[in-house]
Amino acid sequence: MSRKRELASADEILIRTVEQYPCLYDHEHKDFKDFQIRENCWNDIASALGKRPDECKSRWKNIRDNFLKHKRKQKIGTGSAASAKPPKWALFEYLKFLDNVKSERQ
C-alpha cells in the first residue's frame, strides 16, 4: 500500500472515530465546553488508534480545516460561468456529517 493511501486510510479511521464523539465537533452539544470530557474523548480515540491524544487532535484539526476550505471553494463561484464541481479531495465525503453541525462562526 502506498504511503499516501495508508495515510488516507488512517485518516478515514480517525474521522469515523471522531464522528462517534459529537462533543468534539458540535458547538451546540451539551459537553462541548467541558474540557475534561473532551480530553477523555481524545484519550479514548488515541487509545483506539494507538496514537497520542495530541497527534489525534492535531490531525483532526488539519482534516477539519481542509474540509472547510474545500466547502468554501465549492461556494465561491457565481454567475453562469461558475461551475459547481464537487471537490476532488478523497476525504470530503467522509466528513459530510459536519454539514449538519452549526459552525461557531455562523
Please indicate, yes or no, whether the overall pTM of this predicted structure exceeds 0.85.
Answer: no
Tens-level pLDDT at each residue, the chain (106 residues):
576 666 669 999 999 999 999 999 999 999 999 999 999 999 999 999 999 999 999 999 999 999 999 888 877 666 655 555 666 788 999 999 998 887 655 4
pLDDT of residue 34: 98
DSSP string, the chain: --HHHHHHHHHHHHHHHHHT-GGGT-TTSTTTT-HHHHHHHHHHHHHHHTS-HHHHHHHHHHHHHHHHHHHHHHHH--STT---PPP--TTTGGGGGGGGSPPTT-
pLDDT for position 74: 78
Check residue 101 and give its pLDDT. Answer: 83
Say what the pLDDT of residue 78 is.
62
Which three three-digit cell numbers place residue 45? Answer: 480515540
Contact 91, 67 (CB under 8 A): yes
Residue 56's pLDDT is 98
